[in-house]
Amino acid sequence: MTKKIRILTVIFDTEIAGHELPAFRGAIVEKAGKESILFHNHLDSKTFLYKYPLIQYKRFGRKPGIICIDYGVDEIHKYFENDSWDIKISDRWLNMKICRLNLNQFTLQVWDRQLPYSIRNWIALNQENYRKYLEINSMQEKLIFLEKTLIANIYFSKIPLFVDL
């Protein structure tokens, strides 16, 4: 069985700070319209859409970007169909011009045998998990904690986001 997955990466030519990424997301959601669930993954004010986000907000260097996966590629037009793409973050307006646009299509296939898998340059712990790790006394429990973290990292990253930039 095979499935084709499209991934659209849009990088804008302006710059934002890391702490402005949530505001960037909010401004894009506002511009696209809150009725477009894929932009924010909220079914209503209290209920979330619990699935892998098909529209994601990232920084590439200092430039804000949007990654659209599968159906997200079809939904992104709700932002781009606006007369103006400009957004307001904090107290400033950003003139949103596209710096880079990249559309890829990947074919996923299920195999009847196991294939080798390896991970390189894995950053095992974020700040919160590092604090938890330091509180664990035994080496065996530390290894179990790291194994569970690795399993969670693999499980929650099933869709590849390796985009050629």
Q: What is the pLDDT of residues 107-164, one digit of tens each?
A: 988 888 988 878 788 888 888 889 999 999 999 999 999 999 888 877 655 444 444 4
Whether residues 102 and 136 share a domain: the answer is no
Alpha-carbon Rg for the chain, nearest whole angstrom, is 19
Q: Exposure string (b/e) for 86-120, b if CB count within 10 Å is 16 or more?
A: ebebeeeebebeeeeeeeeeeeeeeeeeeeeeeee
pTM value is: 0.65
Whether residues 144 and 69 share a domain: the answer is no
Whether residues 92 and 78 share a domain: the answer is yes
Q: What is the CATH number of the domain that holds 22?
A: 3.30.70
The pLDDT > 70 percentage for the chain reads: 90
Whether residues 104 and 120 share a domain: the answer is no
Whether residues 126 and 99 share a domain: the answer is no
Whether residues 100 and 155 share a domain: the answer is no
The neighbouring-strand residues paired with 107 are 4
Last residue of some domain: 88, 109, 130?
109
pLDDT of residue 157: 52
Whether residues 73 and 127 share a domain: the answer is no
Report how many domains make up the chain. Answer: 2
Whether residues 97 and 146 share a domain: the answer is no
